[in-house]
Amino acid sequence: MKYLIFTQSAQKNINFFLFLFFSILASAFLILSVSAFSELQDSDDIIVIEQDGNSNFLIPIEGGSSSLFFGDNLQHFLQFDDAKNSFVFSDDVDFGGNEIINFRLENLAVAPSCNAENNGKAYHNTDTKYSYVCDGSSWNILDNDMDTAAVILPYIYLLQPTQLPIDTTETITITGDNFNPLTQFEFSSGVTVQNIVIENATTAYAVITTGSSPIAVTVTALNENQSWTGNTLTFNVIESLSIDAIADNFADNAATLGQWVPNLYAIRYDTGYDGDRIIDGGNDMYDDGNFINTNLQNNISYTAGALISDDNIFGVNGRYFTSVQNNIFFLSANIGTNITDFFITGNLGADGRGLTDTLQFNYGGYSAYVKRVYGAGSDPSVNHIFLVKEGGTLVHTADTNTDNDTDRISGLETLLNENDEAPFYYMLFAAEQGEFITDDTMKNIVTYTVENILQ
């Protein structure tokens, strides 16, 4: 019978307790020793393991290998590798269906060899941030084979905006799924990609500069180093519409635009659609308000859809029209040289009650400037939006007294291009019972206006 005996060195003052189960043939014996064995008749049948007082390892007295050996021929072992600071098993380990808890794959910056001997081996790449498995010849991303590729492909649901004007730099929001640090977005010719930022698995932002010609641009999602791709969507680079085309677009789309305004109020135009003010507006919305002014002329007349050209209103070569459709007041103008300011004046029915605030944001190559007066009891809320092309140096100021309709934008001359003209838009709408129109709703209104009326 062979024995595996644990002993404590007589030279060490270390309390040492170990136990061991050992089976030989038909019998099993449990041997526990806490004192030194000095004599055994058959020393060849004894393997003595001693605790090294300088470490926490169990090491054999003879042989120099930090290993525990098992089996009749001692060919199976559990070994501690000092160089790798890890345990080495000579054989497979059967966990008996139990979970491996707090487990990590081997972390490597460079892929190890993948061959038939390593078939099934897995590791995590600290550079690509993916985990891989060896198929006997090459490394594959875990669960990323062709049969399941549709599940993990990057997919684009939406591009916003869907149209951009020529000669502009704008951010496109890419909404989708399965975006990751290795996802790429390929744009077809006609635009220059300045920067792409992947915010999370569903949102990315691309800053692009459009060219000088109208063109349809495709955007394709794909993962780096993969031959297959996700889907493709398209947006359009377009020329600015003429002021006549915008008038037609507003007439065609005002009904749908009004659906974005919650509890849209039907404004009463006391002097008609060709007056120069709204006296009351119904339900005490105004006390003489919505006067239209520029730095060149005050109390500009509404036009009931007619296009007016007058150098003394919106500058040299300036043109404008106003239109009311589906309870939305809309002004479109081409401003010319000498124009610096556009502003609304007058008195509101709120008479100091309720609240007022402003908002500014960009979308689709346009900058939007918002003023809201709301919460004045049953008085309708009064909402202004100024829309201009991005790129100017503008200042937006609005009176904070809810009795005052004043809302001004300055610096319009900085918008003028080489043709000495630039588009300008103003919208007025109201909500019943002083309802506050949220930031998100305002952005939806601008989004619809830009994509369906201005482009």
Question: Residue 419 has what pLDDT?
Answer: 59
User: For the residues 350-375, what does the mean pLDDT come to?
Assistant: 95
User: For the residues 397-416, what does the mean pLDDT come to?
Assistant: 96
Residue 60, pLDDT > 70, answer no
Question: Residue 144 has what pLDDT?
Answer: 52
Question: Residue 66 has what pLDDT?
Answer: 63
User: HSE-up of 43 (CA within 13 Å, CB side)?
Assistant: 3
Question: Residue 143 has what pLDDT?
Answer: 56
CA torsion 41-43-46-50 (nearest 10°) is 110
User: For the residues 266-279, what does the mean pLDDT come to?
Assistant: 95
| Domain residue extents for the chain | 3-89, 107-142, 150-238, 243-454
- pLDDT classification of 209: cutoffs 50, 70, 90: very high
- Quickly tell me which residue has 């890890």 as its tokens: 86
Of the listed ranges 116-125, 293-302, 379-388, the least confidently predicted one is 116-125
**pLDDT one-digit tens code per residue, 153-207:** 888 999 988 878 788 888 899 999 889 888 999 999 999 999 999 999 999 999 9
Please give the share of the chain, as a percent, with pLDDT higher than 90: 50
150-238 has which fold?
Answer: Immunoglobulin-like (2.60.40)
DSSP-assigned letter for residue 451 = I
Residue 104, pLDDT > 60, answer yes
Pairing mode, strands 169-177 and 203-210: antiparallel
Residue 436, pLDDT > 90, answer yes
Contact present, 329 and 322 (Cβ < 8 Å):
yes
Question: Residue 225 has what pLDDT?
Answer: 72
Please give the share of the chain, as a percent, with pLDDT higher than 70: 82
- pLDDT classification of 42: cutoffs 50, 70, 90: very low
**pLDDT one-digit tens code per residue, 293-352:** 999 999 999 999 999 999 999 999 899 999 999 999 999 999 998 999 999 999 999 999
Q: Regarding predicted confidence, which is higher, 377 or 41? A: 377
Contact present, 365 and 417 (Cβ < 8 Å):
no
Question: Residue 120 has what pLDDT?
Answer: 87
Q: Rounded to an integer, what distance in angstroms lies between the CA atom of residue 320 and that of residue 314?
A: 8
Question: Residue 236 has what pLDDT?
Answer: 87
Highest mean pLDDT among 23-37, 122-136, 253-267: 253-267
- pLDDT classification of 440: cutoffs 50, 70, 90: very high
What distances in angstroms separate CA 91 from CA 69, 88, 94, 267, one per listed residue? 12, 9, 10, 84
Q: Regarding predicted confidence, which is higher, 315 or 85? A: 315
Residue 148, pLDDT > 70, answer no
User: For the residues 135-160, what does the mean pLDDT come to?
Assistant: 71
Question: Residue 410 has what pLDDT?
Answer: 97
**pLDDT one-digit tens code per residue, 222-251:** 887 777 777 899 998 887 778 888 999 999
φ/ψ (deg, to 5) at 312 = -95, 5
CA atoms 50, 53, 54, 56: torsion sign? positive
Of the listed ranges 12-26, 66-80, 262-276, 440-454, the least confidently predicted one is 12-26
Contact present, 235 and 219 (Cβ < 8 Å):
yes
Question: Residue 93 has what pLDDT?
Answer: 84
